[in-house]
A and B are shown apart, each in its own frame.
Chain A
Amino acid sequence: MAPPHPPHPRTLFDKVWKSHVVEPEAPDRPALIHVDLHLVHEVTSPQAFSELNARGLEVRRPDLTIATIDHSTPTLAAGPDGRRPYVTARAEAQVAALRGNCARHGIELFDWESPNRGVVHVIGPEQGLTWPGMVVVCGDSHTSTHGAFGALAFGIGTSEVGHVLATQCLFQRRPRTLRLRIDGRLPPGVGAKDLALAVVSTLGFSGGTGHVIEYAGEAVRGLGMEGRMTLCNMSIEAGARAGMVAPDETAVDYLRGRPRAPVGDAFDRAAERWLALAGDDGAAFDGEISLDASALVPMATWGSSPDQASAVDAAIPTPGTATARRALDYMRLEPGKPLIGTPVDVVFVGSCTNGRISDLRAAAAILRDRRIDPRVRMLVAPGSEAVRREAEAEGLHEIFLAAGAEWRLPGCSMCIAMNGDQVRPGKLAVSTSNRNFEGRQGPGARTILASPATAAASAVAGAVADPRTYAVASHAG
């Protein structure tokens, strides 16, 4: 009788992990793991470079390292004198430090002049730097984004940035695995961000701690690469180390022709390897959970952590815990009242969660031939220069400007609010970013996380709104 599956069926994670183990785990130390792509930005790298410089160490594999500037960079254009409007001299000095460190160590930097510059997790995929089966790290927790390609991608601290710069390797304990099956199809008007918020609220804020999540099922297969990136991006909001999706033809098609992807025969051979990474039938996970996509609706957060989310058209919940009560107090939301209709001051569209072209299209589809409420300030920050070019070629920027929104330069902007793009104290923002922590978008700022469509609809209404009431084509990206 033929065996039903390979003798030792392995998961996608198992395959990627195994091929990167330089030295296996021992009782007194974790496994030593090799890194294929190290992404660097200005905020979490200076102390790592200082450590290398102080010890007289070189960057071991500058060829596997790419740097960009995104977190503390202004999103307003340079003045007539060519000076960039940095929020502080320190922010400018931090960018200068990265420039100096990259020059000294021979690292390619996507600086202001580069057509490739952008938010670190947007540029990796769009340049074709992120390939299935890679180990990708960055001093940023949303490195999980790259897992959409079937890469093992996770955020690290600055000390580890130094370890990778100096050795291209990292100590890692093997995480546990969790398969999250999402069956069914997303209904019209419900997108990847709604799915991500549903996943995080299902798992809870620490439900994924210690785990790598593999997203599977019809709804995940049905997402484009940008939607998969949005989904994997927020894995960390459930505490997971990483999220992954098995590479399929959608991933291969996305990568074909990208600037840093393999070319010609090399691409075909690579694609064959990539497709073989999908988990074997019968491979075991440490945990399994399933969700039904067909029952989903547009989601929004009501609290001050990303798992405090519910249907946008639901009533604000009655707090069952001290944590929820504190969150509602901070948000100044009243239990039992509908969230829809809550007046909104600021709308932000952008970030590595929702700053890609499909996100901007979704927002523009709602804003076309409409104006945002005059009381609302709306910022749109494309995720990268490439996204900006594509959006401008399609005329999306004109739709945003005509609607009364600001069209900014690429960068993290109001996602982390460290470049001067801030929500003022007490103001309420609907944001397509990934964190609604107290003060995340500025001291005292109150944040509701939602999809680009919900954000745009809320800008038009001047209050939290359900995008389904604004008839547009479905957005599954």
Chain B
Amino acid sequence: MRVEPGPPALEPFRALMSRTVVLPHANIDTDQIIPARFLTTLARTGLGPLAFHDWRYHPGGAPKDDFVLNTITAADHRILVAGDNFGCGSSREHAPWALTDFGFRAVISTKVADIFTSNALKNGLLPIEVDAATHARLIAAPGADVVVDLEAREVRFDGRTTAFEVEPFGRRCLLDGVDPLGFILSRLPVIEAFEKARAA
């Protein structure tokens, strides 16, 4: 049995300038991001080729020439712009693992599901919610150059700047490469005291 090491140390994330990939459909759920039949893996790496598998390949396995992920170079398309309400459904962390392994570092939508957001922030993928007007402009401009500035909490595109909110702890983990498990482990004395008080 192959033993997978811990998560790769995350590169700190400050600002990112990249072209966008647009998937305009609303309600893209985690079953679309990576279908369940690929979840029998013991690894968290190497899932990029499975991202959007059933949209990306014909049933026989040949890539669909007209599907956007098959037409771009991942290295300079690191921002995914998705239709309304992204990442709903299953809690599978394989979804952000597949997206980051493909090369994405940020995903922009009008709404991003709770568990997906939590999972993404732990894996160097920044989920960004923007207003409908900004979203519509981004959707209409596939391949546009966009700056995602986590320090300033701004998306800059087409000469305009849009502020976004990000959960402060997740932001800190991304900015400074903080390891959340290490951080919780540092709270063990408090956890022990809590358990002792409760047992009393």
Contacts and interface: CB of A to CB of B under 8 A. Distances in A.
Q: Do A and B come from one complex?
A: yes
Interface of A: 22-23, 27-30, 32, 34, 43-44, 46-47, 50-51, 53-55, 57, 71-72, 88, 90-91, 93-94, 96-97, 100, 139-141, 155-160, 162-163, 166-171, 173, 205-206, 209-210, 239, 241, 305, 321-323, 326, 416-418, 425, 435, 437-440, 443-444
B54 interface: yes
Contacts of B84: 206
B31 A443 contact: no
20 contacts: A22-B194, A30-B169, A34-B194, A43-B40, A44-B91, A44-B92, A54-B6, A55-B181, A90-B40, A100-B1, A155-B91, A155-B115, A158-B93, A169-B187, A205-B88, A206-B85, A239-B114, A323-B27, A418-B37, A438-B32
Given A34-B191, A155-B115, A437-B32, A417 B184 contact: no
Interface in B6-44: 6-7, 25-27, 29, 31-32, 35-37, 39-44
A141 B191 contact: no
Interface residues of B, number: 56
B31 A435 contact: yes
Contact of A54 (B5, B91, B113): B5
A163 B168 contact: no
A131 to B, nearest CB: 14
Which 8 residue pairs are nearest across A and B when measured between Cβ atoms?
A: A157-B119, A157-B93, A155-B91, A158-B93, A90-B40, A141-B91, A50-B4, A29-B169
Interface in B33-85: 35-37, 39-44, 54, 59, 83-85
B91 A323 contact: no
Interface of B: 1, 3-7, 25-27, 29, 31-32, 35-37, 39-44, 54, 59, 83-85, 88-93, 111, 113-115, 118-119, 122-123, 167-169, 172, 180-181, 183-185, 187-188, 190-191, 194-195, 198
A53 B180 CA distance: 17
Contact of A167 (B5, B25, B115, B188): B188
Given A140-B91, A239-B85, 20 more contacts: A22-B190, A23-B187, A43-B40, A54-B3, A54-B4, A140-B90, A155-B115, A159-B180, A166-B181, A170-B184, A206-B27, A239-B114, A241-B114, A305-B88, A323-B26, A323-B83, A418-B39, A437-B89, A438-B54, A440-B31
